[in-house]
Structure 1
């Protein structure tokens, strides 16, 4: 890992670019999920991602992991498979900004999972973080229920929150994984094992790769990899406390891309609710300072 950059603004801007790139990938995946279904979009994107990262893994002559590390890669990939399909299905039902705003509650949930799974003590900050996060979810859902909504919107919101719970567990796995492997290795095996995990359901759900969607699928895989590399570079050169707020710029990009590509409007309840959730997440970050790694951010 490289030392801290003499000018933190450079890693900060690079991290912003990484989040913007990942948000654009979300927009591409929404289009693909609407056209192909969430399962097929995730399956084919990760298959192409495994191919791209496999070439990079071999080209960089990465060391083959031990059996214990491979087991961790496999288990986290199973978790990511569930998380990714549920999240990308949810954005076919909800505006991008609303789904991203709700998903920000994951760090707050992670505090309680860490207490249950790792025996960590729940402090006063964690309680305040959970209150703020819960209030944000209530505000967003109240705005949705007070306006035009369908059963699909409600199931979409439920899928986002379910994905956030799974993502919170994923954060705990990611912290352990990041201590044992580098970003290229993690990205390669995650793409490979996610595709392998989803292939178990292929006889029932997989559709042939549509030739006309192949460029978009390749683009989504490339954007995910580029985001990973940008965030990896940034987090290796600046303290986590400087870069943590960058993650929340994803909401701005989601609102922009949702408006540009899908004519989605951002409502005031979504803005206010997301603000509460972000405040809760920042309190959670202060309550338990953890070195943030790029694998904790991107669903690669």
Structure 2
């Protein structure tokens, strides 16, 4: 274990995932979301397969006793991906990324409801505060809704973002249930394959022939995403999840900076007030998980073995 190196890898992965979103947003209005999903997933497979081959796990990683679970997880995940990309293309980049931070909040709630994980008052309070922050971020869209501007791209983007966050949490529930029998490489590989096939199935709904510039952006998005997944996986091998996870929120720094430099987007008051609330609640949940994990570990060490 090398925690400092793990943190460095995690931060590097947030940079690559943000660059992926920048490349996707740069194709705004010119490439359908289904086509974007295909490029992101298919070209993201290249570094993933290369990693598995380098580790000597390919093609062994293709063997799985739970293909239907992979398929179900893939359908939920690819729907979340497509809606998330639709949100990015309709909202300022930092705002779309902040709404995506609702996923860990949904995951806590779903973990309690679906997996019956114990969630006590502290974490429920943090979840409620986090959703309050999301509501603050979404306040401009509530104003659009109240004024009857149902056709607003920003309103649609906000709705897509919230649903994408919920489905991302659902995909996280699938992953939690799979980690006992499936390796990380297997989970990521089958998700990318399912997403690529799902993207291909949207051809009848109107793919376009991308320009050379758009094609370069789409291929770059796939490579950024694939390498980002590798770095993220490696980060969790070098440090505990509770050490690594808070650095996910570094992506907001890159999102604000690149949103301004590339798209001339400045964060509005709702994001400036709501964003820190969401980030703080997420960090609190992570630190609380770490505290409880250490407590359980001490209890196990203090309990004498039976027999």
Query: Separation in 1 of the partners of 2:101 and 2:187?
Result: 23
Residue number in structure 1 paired with 2:125: 128
Matched, 1:285 2:270: no
1:250 Cα deviation (Å)? Answer: 0.8
Answer whether contact 1:57 1:185 (CA < 8 A) is retained. Answer: no
Residue number in structure 1 paired with 2:160: 159
Shift in CA distance, 157/106, structure 1 to aligned 2, threshold 3 Å: same
Matched, 1:180 2:175: no
Answer whether contact 2:24 2:89 (CA < 8 A) is retained. Answer: no
Answer whether contact 1:33 1:40 (CA < 8 A) is retained. Answer: no
The equivalences for 1:257-268 within 5 A come to: 257-268=258-269
- 1:184-237: CA deviation from partner (whole Å, max 9, x where unpaired): 333322211111123333222333455443322221111112111212222111
Residue number in structure 2 paired with 1:219: 220
- 1:53-95: CA deviation from partner (whole Å, max 9, x where unpaired): 4455456452144443333322211111100110100111110
Residue number in structure 2 paired with 1:140: 137
1:37 Cα deviation (Å)? Answer: 2.1
Which of the two has higher C-alpha Rg?
2
Residue number in structure 1 paired with 2:79: 82
State TM-score, norm by structure 1. Answer: 0.85
Residue number in structure 2 paired with 1:297: none
**Range with bigger deviation, 15-24 or 72-81:** 72-81
Answer whether contact 2:31 2:207 (CA < 8 A) is retained. Answer: no
Matched, 1:36 2:37: no
Query: Separation in 1 of the partners of 2:223 and 2:184?
Result: 15
Shift in CA distance, 57/122, structure 1 to aligned 2, threshold 3 Å: closer
Matched, 1:9 2:4: yes
Query: Separation in 2 of the partners of 1:215 and 1:264?
Result: 23
Residue number in structure 1 paired with 2:172: 171
State TM-score, norm by structure 2. Answer: 0.83
1:177 Cα deviation (Å)? Answer: 3.2
Q: Kindly tell me the number of residue pairs found equivalent between the two proteins.
A: 286
1:284 Cα deviation (Å)? Answer: 2.7
1:247 Cα deviation (Å)? Answer: 0.3
CA RMSD across the alignment: 2.6
Query: Separation in 1 of the partners of 2:103 and 2:61?
Result: 32
Query: Separation in 2 of the partners of 1:124 and 1:61?
Result: 42
Query: Separation in 2 of the partners of 1:120 and 1:204?
Result: 41
Answer whether contact 1:128 1:283 (CA < 8 A) is retained. Answer: no
Answer whether contact 1:93 1:153 (CA < 8 A) is retained. Answer: yes
**Range with bigger deviation, 53-62 or 173-182:** 53-62
Residue number in structure 1 paired with 2:70: 73
Shift in CA distance, 18/56, structure 1 to aligned 2, threshold 3 Å: closer
